[in-house]
Amino acid sequence: MIGIVDYNAGNIRSVELALLALKVEYRISKKPQDLASVDRLIFPGVGEARYAMKELKSTGFDSFLKDWAASGKPLLGVCLGSQIILDHSEENDVPCLGIVPGVVRKFPDSFRARGLKVPHMGWNDITYHNGGSALFDGVPEGSNFYFVHSYYLDPSDGAAITATAEYGMSVPCAIKQGNVEAVQFHPEKSAAHGLRVLANFCGLKGRA
């Protein structure tokens, strides 16, 4: 059973539709206790870090997610969910969950002078690092994924980076620390390769 954390921070429906396409049994809830018995947990999200942290604290999901990560059970952060598992976000100077050491950084102001739009929005191919991850089994290096973000992951340990995308710089777009993985792109909006990533997380080898 796959759990989906619903903390009023968007893109829940698109994740749900992706799991329906994979014929995966799942449960969505706004209450941590409803997800305590699932086997794997997806932590999605879009929007602003301060609002997201406020919602997580008001629902108790902040401590639930920390305890889940410490338990050794699989956790996948997606987009905003990939960012706020780190220690801190430069978006309004917000302390985050601190599950993975690191900082969420704003794309440099110089990007606009170079003709690069912020947010970074659209399809970009990825390059694997540090041996990649089983999350990408069956996904060829150089595959395209869909991105929408103005901030990027900067984990303290570069060995945690499993994939990057090029957008004015080498942008970490997937990280792994033990049982915790996170992707900056939207797998649920990234066609067949995105479904493969979700299938791999769900333990459905070869099903996507």
- Give the tokens for residue 28: 């969505």
Q: 150-170, pLDDT tens digit by residue?
A: 999 999 999 999 999 999 999
Q: Is the peptide bond before 155 cis (omega within 30 degrees of 0)?
A: no
Sequence-distant (6+) residues with CB within 8 A of 101 are 86, 87, 155, 156, 157
DSSP state of 191: H
Calculate ∠ Cα 177-52-168, nearest 5°: 60
Residue 89: which CATH number? 3.40.50.880
Per-residue pLDDT at 205 exceeds 80: no
Does the active-site annotation cover 188?
Answer: yes
Whether the per-residue pLDDT at 112 is higher than 90: the answer is: no
Give the total number of structural domains in the chain: 1
Based on the residue annotation, tell me whether 96 is a catalytic residue of this protein: no
Predicted confidence at residue 208, as pLDDT, reads: 54
206 within domain boundaries? no
Cα–Cα distance between 174 and 87 in angstroms, integer? 16
- What are the tens digits of pLDDT across the range 37-71? 999 999 999 999 999 999 999 999 999 999 999 99
Q: Does residue 208 lie in a domain region?
A: no
Catalytic site residue from 88, 173, 188, 202: 188
Which residues sit opposite 180 in a β-bridge? 75, 177
Bridge partner residues of 28 (DSSP):
4
Residue 207 lies in a domain: no
11 falls in which pLDDT band (50, 70, 90)?
confident
Flag whether 187 is in a domain: yes
Q: What is the pLDDT of residues 177-202, one digit of tens each?
A: 999 999 999 999 999 999 999 999 99
Q: Determine the structural domain holding residue 25 and report its residue range.
A: 2-201
Catalytic residue among 79, 96, 173, 202: 79
On whether residue 92 sits in a domain, the answer given is: yes
Task: Find where tokens 């970490």 sit.
Answer: 172
- List alpha helices for 60-109, DSSP H: 61-71, 80-83
The neighbouring-strand residues paired with 146 are 123, 186
Residue 104 within any structural domain of the chain: yes
By DSSP bridging, strand 88-89 and strand 40-43 are: unpaired
Residue 144 has pLDDT above 60, yes or no: yes
Q: Which of 120, 149, 186, 193 is catalytic?
A: 186
Is residue 161 one of the residues assigned to a domain?
yes
